[in-house]
Chains A and B, each alone.
Chain A
């Protein structure tokens, strides 16, 4: 299958009937039919007589009664690991995981080997993704050569090759002058500079949130201030340069406050938050020691992620920030690792959670708890992220790419990583029940995933 070429008219039309269609960009939340043809959204509605759209000849029909039908989900922060770490994930396995989780578009991070800091590397990812033909992959180019934080990568050439943004994710651009210059230079191509905010002199060696739990476990702490000082600095630099700063994986209440203030004075800043920072806390690292209901043992490295899980006050502030719009969107920070990378001493284990297949369920848990409404939740994974990097998709407007996700918001399922399409089985949610599961994912008018 070839994704995204609007001219490929040989594909059979697809009619999705009778679902609850939520298209936040168009203010739509109603039972309706969605007709996809020629790789694009054709029509959304109930037809002239209100009895539904008519299926064109040769169309496949999906009965979506009882399901929620949304634009295909968009992820701004995915680690596909290829090239270089194919034991953790490949572009193919990662995009299969994406569609299994309802994501039709993923932006992949450049911390591969080699780094995505050349046009050739960007094109390799695009080519491989097209060959896999599962989901749309938008590569993010490195900010600096080799992600070393010193010299700028050829940002204009990366953008011409198709990089949708720039990031040294995994590492922070620590040098203030380099960050300033990256922001300034990004004005040439009008792409966001995505910062992994971590002052490494403050987080030095930290593997979990600094505070009572770390004190008890004897693990080196990663204080919230290590994130916030970089966010504060970068906001000043974004204001100075007028460039677009995007804050990756905001994890603290303080970051939300800084973003709110900066937005108030008109700084061009966007931000994302991960499902784990919205729903999980540092207590999980202490496992069933700290909470009798916890299913994990203490020091389980599946809880190890960068930035680390924080506190209940932080999750509350992050949810509020997402609802308010100070945080633009949810991003998975899908970080697959091998079992060996995680089955070891906590301090030695790799950072990251394989999130693509559980993100929707985690975000829906906020809906079930009454903290977000369903339309807001859908927006944070569709039109809102698409707008951040100005990506196609994220809506069901006629003429938009025919990317659609169908999920049952009530269906309960047990998270069994062995059933993941991702090679990464590393999630602290293993064994948990989530409510809300993807049943169909349509990419470019074709069913890319069907449960």
Chain B
């Protein structure tokens, strides 16, 4: 039985955002709530998270943030990496529920506006608060990172791979949704790219992703074994690496 978390309608989310945008974590210290009068739930398909579950989730978010410097400066990337698997474990979401943007708006704007303001201090990017692209939102992107880097056969998150990827690397990988949607291909690509380069990976990921997408049009990666996927993706990354090196001045 999955968990159904409250959702915040778009019109309400926009209104709250106008009140919280630009404020600091300290200014939003007492703003958080465990429920909102306009919150709604998906009609059926799981157990509704009550106020207690929402408070517990907030506790997880806040205690993780505190370990990384909240509400002052701190180590934001390390916070992201540590929170991602906790969100996956605590929230117990169905995939269709995780793709509902209103759920994530509830978390940033009602449950943890102070932590969001701390994590994105100095950023005016609205998408960190109001979910349009799930790969950009404060909490949605972390949940998806953890989910897509989980090996479904073992249930284990490849944390060591995730830790070594930069925010820019992750953005590049997750923007290619066909690649990101196939967890074996995504993890193989990330591993292969890390094997080839520890320096600036932007051109390498861009080139390798193009090659993988072209292959996905003619090769059914789901029909391959783990080893075959690994081998094929590593071959494409190797090709990409040589192509990028040849183009470099």
Is A bound to B? no
